[in-house]
Amino acid sequence: MIPYGRQFIDDDDIRAVVEVLKSDWLTTGPKVQEFEQAVADYVGAKYAVAVSSGTAALHAAMYALDIESGDEVIVPPMTFAASANCIVYQGGTPIFVDVSSDTLLIDLDKVEEKITPRTKAIIAVDYAGHPCDYDTLRKIATRHHIAIVADGCHALGAEYNSSKVGSLADMTAFSFHPVKHITTGEGGMITTDNGNLAHRMKIFRNHGITTDHRQREDHGTWIYEMIDLGYNYRITDFQCALGMSQLKKLHDWVARRRNIAARYDIAFADIEGIKPLAVRGNVHHAYHLYVVRTGMNEGDTERTKIFKALHEYGIGVNVHYIPVHLHPFYRNKFKIGPGLCPVAEAAYQSILSLPMFPAMSDADVSQVIESITKVVRSFA
Ligand SMILES: *Cc1c(COP(=O)(O)O)cnc(C)c1O
């Protein structure tokens, strides 16, 4: 089975982890800062805060903005649940704004009508690795004095007008889960140019305590103060060593993903019943996912048949995502459901994510193309 995504670990990665396992610091040691600096430099941000997951990164961003009960945060539904869960962790209310049908990115024409005096931020999800329209987002955010948090979990290495995702929003969250562009097993990071927000997130990831173990040891003291309620969202040093080693390969891996996408684009251009999402001219797409609309007719039954047929051919296509507002938790808690975001709901009926990861061979790509062509034509 060719999966839709998977990690790639080589001997250099293993050596980097083993070296840290033999050192004095398994966690909260020097590798954390090194990895933070390397990611900040890579995306062109002043600060980076490493945490235990992409979800923790999003939660830290909501905390740093002081999201609390009564606050509203705008978020698209075509994303992983964590993009909205982070708002609810802080007691805030997610306001789902529908997506554009060609890119499945948040529809910026529909954002302003949802802004109220209680709106504090917009979470911009760079779905599939395609950056949102950050110029327009910035205009909206400035006009209404609200913050932009990018959920860049799909978009490490992506660019908008030649600037990297991670440097475009007030804060950007990344994930290092194994299916993402680089992995630390579990892990995440927030990048920002705002030193105050970075400082607050560093305290938040360590129980709300102002110093870490290593800092106290350096200063020869046991005294620490817990100034706010935080969490243990720390990442280990051996994970950060893995992240450093993976980061060196990111450039080539994004190039390989783009190369696979280009082959898919050409192969599917003339096939009725399979339509890749649109890509804007001013972006460098990082292709965490390669998403297509399938079927001659929109509708869940045809897509489900295509999904099953492809799995029988050994092609591990997947569906990203069930719109978040349709999950029982959101329906029950916020009294929302079908009809709230019709474009996302309709898109969900027809989308498939095709295998896309740097270690795919050219033969794998050919096999995916042949199988999909055969299956989709059989439904024509
Ligand atoms: C993966 C992902 C997350 C969560 O990241 P974890 O590291 O798995 O916690 C959040 N948002 C999006 C869009 C993701 O793809």
Nearest CA among 297, 270, 287 for reference residue 354: 287
Average pLDDT over residues 261-276: 95
- Report how far ligand 1's centroid is from the alpha carbon of 153 (Å): 6
> In this structure, what token pair is assigned to residue 184?
């630390």
Structural tokens at position 44: 């062109």
Averaged confidence pLDDT in the chain: 96
* Mutate which of 4, 7, 83 for ligand 1 pocket (most atoms within 8 A of beta carbon): 83
154 lines ligand 1 (CB under 6 A): yes
Q: Is 55 in the pocket of ligand 1 (CB under 6 A)?
A: yes
Among protein residues, the one whose CA lies closest to atom 5 of ligand 1: 54
| Nearest alpha-carbon partner for 35 in 183, 200, 203 | 183
What is the CA(126)–ligand 1 centre distance, in A?
11
| Residue 293 β-bridge partners | 275, 351
Question: Does the pTM exceed 0.85?
Answer: yes
Cβ of 60 below 6 Å from ligand 1: no
Quote the percentage of the chain above a pLDDT of 70.
99
Q: What integer pLDDT is reported at residue 77 of this predicted model? A: 98
Tens of pLDDT, residue by residue over 18-55, are 999 999 999 999 999 999 999 999 999 999 999 999 99
The set of catalytic residues is 180
Q: Is 320 in the pocket of ligand 1 (CB under 6 A)?
A: no
Q: Nearest-CA neighbor of 348 among 356, 335, 338?
A: 338
Sequence-separated (6 or more) residues with CB below 8 Å from residue 202:
49
67 falls in which pLDDT band (50, 70, 90)? very high
Mean pLDDT of 203-220: 90
Closest ligand 1 atom, residue 176 Cα? 7
Is the per-residue pLDDT at 169 higher than 90?
yes
Distance 220 CA to ligand 1 centre (A): 38
| Mean pLDDT of the 57-83 span | 98
For 141, list phi and psi in degrees, rounded to 5.
-65, -40
pLDDT at 297 over 70: no
Instruction: Kindly report the protein residue whose alpha carbon is nearest to atom 15 of ligand 1.
Output: 153
> In sequence order, what are the beta bridge partners of 355?
none
Identify the pLDDT of residue 6: 93
188 lines ligand 1 (CB under 6 A): yes
Domains of the chain from N-terminus onward:
11-247 (3.40.640.10), 250-379 (3.90.1150.10)
For 10-19, letters b (16+ CB in 10 Å) and e give: eeebeebbee
Contact 54, 84 (CB under 8 A): no
Given a cut of 90, whether residue 215 has pLDDT beyond it is no
pLDDT band at 70 (very low <50, low <70, confident <90, very high): very high
pLDDT of residue 298: 62
Confidence of residue 153 (pLDDT cuts 50, 70, 90): very high
pLDDT at position 350 is 93
Whether 5 is in the pocket of ligand 1, judged by its Cβ within 6 Å, is: no
